[in-house]
Structure formats: C-alpha cells, structure tokens
Structure 1
Amino acid sequence: MEKPKPIKRHEALQPLSRQHHFGLLFSWKIRKGFAKEISISRMKAYADWFFEKEIQPHFRLEEEFVFPVLGPENPLIERALQEHQEIKALFEDTKEPSKSLSILEEKLKDHIRFEERTLFNKIQEAATISEMEKIDEIHLQISTPDEYTDAFWEN
C-alpha cells in the first residue's frame, strides 16, 4: 500500500494545522489516561483546560475567518460546524464524563483528520489571495497556552 503524500499546507493555514496537531495529542493523552486507568476527574480537568485554552479559540478562528471562504451552505462547512457543536457538547458534558471523554477522543481525532485531509484542501483551492491574507492575519490571535501541569499520561 502506497503511503499518502504529505499535504502542502498554505502558509496562512499552517498555524491552525499546528493546533490540529495539539488536538491529536489531546486525543492520544486521553486514550493513554484510559489505558492507565487514570481517574476520570483528572482527565476531565485536563479536558476542561484544553477546551478553554485550545478548542474554543481554535473553533472561533475557523468559524470566523476560514469557513466563510466556502460559505455556510457548503456541505463541508455544514459538516464541520455540526462536528464543532458535537465536540463542544462532549467537552461540556458533566453528567457522564467517562463516556463523553471516550467518545470525544475519537470524534476529535476524526474531525481533525477531516479538516486536514478534506476541508482545508478545498479552502486552499477556493480562497482568493485576499481571503488567505485575511486568514494569515489571525496568526497574531493564536497563542500558545502554558503547559498543563498534571501530565497524567506520563505516569
């Protein structure tokens, strides 16, 4: 089986793609937490931190600056927005955090792969130079949060 070629990401989208990498790491860390039988409260505390510091700002930037390139009626954008809502709901669930975290780590991973392999490629193809320049301006709004202190996935 031939290995897929690496995606050449437009410079304006690279910071968001880097954040996607952190999302994949989040999923891996939650998976490790379950494998190591870490308490749900510790993993949920990390998920709450990650949601506030990474996911919410990331979704806002995508929805405000990136998704408008294809427009709200585009099926890929409709799918991305629906998945954003589902992911937010999983992060915010306090009734069954164990179940939500388990679903979340898989759903977030799948969502990131969809955005990287499909959606961002379509946006790159469709965006005008001025739209990419506008997306490029969001680099200043992307910050790197402090490291999370309870590295339960390393225990």
Structure 2
Amino acid sequence: MEKPTPIKRHEALKPLSRDHHHGLLLCWKIREGLKRGVSLERIKKYTDFFFTSQLRPHFRFEEAEIFPLLGEDHPMAQRAINEHSRLESLFKEEAGEAGFHSIEKELNRHIRFEERELFRELQETVSEEKLQNITNKEEEIITPDPDDWDDKFWQETSKA
C-alpha cells in the first residue's frame, strides 16, 4: 500500500501547520493522561494553559487573517468558525473524562479538516499575492512554548 503524498504547504501557512502539530500533540497528551490514570484536575490545568496561550490566539488569527481570504460566506470558513466556537465551549466546561474525550476527538477532527481541506482550498483559490501578505504575520503572535510546562503528566508511568 502506497503512503499518501505529503501535502505541500504554502510558506504563509506553515506557522499555522506547526500550531496544528502542537494541537495534535495536545490530543495525544490528553489520551495519555487518561490512559495513565492522571487526575482530571492536572489534565485540566494543562488544557486551560494550552487553550489560553495557544489555541485562542491561533483561532483569532485564523478568523481575522486566514478565513477572510476565502470570503466570509465560504462554507469551509463558516465550518471552521463554528468548530472554533464549539471547541472554545468544550474547553470552558468542567473537567470530566467525557469532556476530555470530546476535546480530543473534536480538536483532532478540526485540525485534520483545516490541514487537508481548508488549507488546500486556500492554496488552490487564493492568489499568491494575498497569501504572501500574511506571511510571517502569525509568527508575530508571541506565545509560550506549549512544552514549557512543569507537570508533564503524559510521561508518567501508568497507575492502572
């Protein structure tokens, strides 16, 4: 079976793809924390930090700079905005195992949609000039390193 060809990402979108990679790692960390029997409070502290320092600025940037390139009525842009809103609600809910499963599942699905569909649409329909205009703008947003967190619960030996 052939491996799928990696998607060639436009330079302007690469910082967002790096953010998406960190988001997928968050999904993995949630799964690992739950599998290892880590207290939900510890997972919640990290997901709160991650949402506030990483996802919220990322969502705001996409909504202000990226999605308008497709047009405000574009169905993919509308879908992404709706998913951002849903994810924000999930992150604000009380910590519970089912809530963490929902965050992990929905964030993973959202990132895959943006990477595989929305970004491809951007690259195929938006002019090079417009894409160049956003190059490096996302990197101007200074956020802490998502791995700069003392409680690395996802590395603990399983308690189960």
SS in 2 for 1:145: coil
The equivalent of 1:112 in structure 2 is 111
Gapped regions of structure 1 (runs ≥ 5):
none
User: Which whole-Å deviations, capped at 9, do the CAs of 1:26-76 have from their partners, x for residues lacking one?
Assistant: 000000000001000000000000001100000011101000111121111
User: Which whole-Å deviations, capped at 9, do the CAs of 1:1-49 have from their partners, x for residues lacking one?
Assistant: 3321000000010000000000000000000000001000000000000
SS in 1 for 2:90: helix
Q: How does 1:1-155 map to 2 (within 5 A)?
A: 1-94=1-94, 96-146=95-145, 147-155=148-156
TM-score normalized by structure 2?
Answer: 0.91
Gapped regions of structure 2 (runs ≥ 5):
none
Contact 2:61-2:138 at 8 Å conserved across structures: no
Code of the residue aligned with 2:93 in structure 1: it is: D
CA distance in 1, matches of 2:83, 2:138: 24
Give identity over the alignment, percent.
46
Deviation, structure 1 residue 104: 0.3
CA distance in 1, matches of 2:49, 2:81: 22
SS in 2 for 1:120: helix
